[in-house]
Amino acid sequence: MDTHKIYTDDTLRETVVHGSQAYPFAFYPENIWEFDFHRIDWHWHHELEFLFVDKGTAICFAGDNRIELSEGSGIFINSGTLHQYEAKSSAFCPNIVFDATLLAPEDTLIYEKYVNPILHSSVAFQVLQPDVAWQYHILETLNRIFSVQEIDGGNELRTMQLLLQCWDVLYQNMNMDSISPAVRRLNHRQAKLQTMMQYIHNHYKDAITLDMIANSVPISKSGALHIFRSCIQTSPVSYLIQYRLTQAAAQLKTTQKSVSFVAADTGFSDAGYFCKKFKQRYHMSANEYRRQNS
């Protein structure tokens, strides 16, 4: 089975272009189980996202929230929200990702009145359950959008009609009165997290420590630990090791450098430790990984 990956920049912003400038809309009929490590890893994007669990069960992480999405349910992910999906078994989850300006151009009444309030609200995400009438209506409309992509050749006009119906129901029912202190703290933590991640991405080849990562913000070491654990459920050092291993795997795929050279070039001072951690993550040795992916 082919596996899929998600590609991000140093701040975990997804780098793929969703749709085109003329039509910034993309449909993804994806099975989370088919991604590396059975998860769509941590990422964020300026675009908006609706996901529906057609078969199986998916787990969504958004900030320090763990949301189990059962078959027939879905979720709306707001612009800029850091999130991840996981699956314990096959989970077919068609989804759409689109730019907010597809709903209405900026500097128009429609955008200012009906789009901007959600973009800048306290709502990082909205779970959609079939037993709630207005949420069921959105889920049904999403399935009609998916059908248009699969059967009707992705008819843009029909897609827009249905997408605006979804947005209207969402706008009428979401509580967007104010930014709660909890969400304000989440946004503040996410900004600090991204700064520390960028430091790791820029310096992973060096002998960096938890103290150095924390000082990039700057915050205390305990503060750095709390932010990583509350936002992406891991520690700064664990994330550093994971990132180094990802970079090492890329070199093993694309170069003929020796394993010991790759280890040193990605920040591992001990080749034996590198080999141990690589096998733990990829369930095969570095040489086996190279043979399978060359």
> Can you tell me the distance from the alpha carbon of 178 to that of 181, in angstroms, rounded to the nearest whole number?
9
> Can you tell me the distance from the alpha carbon of 225 to that of 185, in angstroms, rounded to the nearest whole number?
16
Residues 129, 159, 55, 69, CA torsion sign: negative
Distance between start and end Cα atoms, the chain: 16
> Can you tell me the distance from the alpha carbon of 266 to that of 274, in angstroms, rounded to the nearest whole number?
10
Which of these ranges, 16-20, 78-82, 122-126, 186-190, has the smallest mean pLDDT? 186-190
Strands 83-86 and 92-98 come out as unpaired
DSSP-derived letter for residue 19 is S
Domain 25-173 and domain 181-293 have a common topology = no
Provide the 3-class DSSP secondary structure of residue 77: strand
Contact 174, 125 (CB under 8 A): no
Residue 1 pLDDT more than 50?
no
May I ask the CATH class of domain 25-173?
A: mainly beta
Closest of 139, 122, 157 to residue 53, by C-alpha? 139
9: pLDDT confidence band, cut at 50, 70 and 90? confident
Provide the 3-class DSSP secondary structure of residue 271: helix
CB proximity list for 239: less than 8 A, separation 6 or greater: 197, 200, 228, 232
pTM here is 0.79
In the chain, domain spans: 25-173, 181-293
Residue 35 pLDDT more than 80?
yes
Q: What is the mean pLDDT of the chain?
A: 92
CB proximity list for 187: less than 8 A, separation 6 or greater: none
pLDDT in tens, 265-281: 999 999 999 999 999 99
E strands within 149-260? none
Residue 178 pLDDT more than 60?
no
pLDDT of residue 233: 87
- Tell me the mean pLDDT in the region 5-26: 91
185: pLDDT confidence band, cut at 50, 70 and 90? low
CATH 1.10.260.40 fits domain 181-293: no
pLDDT in tens, 110-164: 999 999 999 988 788 999 999 999 999 999 999 999 999 999 889 999 999 999 9
Residue 184 pLDDT more than 60?
no
Half-sphere exposure of 207 (CA within 13 A, CB side): 2
Residue 285 pLDDT more than 50?
yes
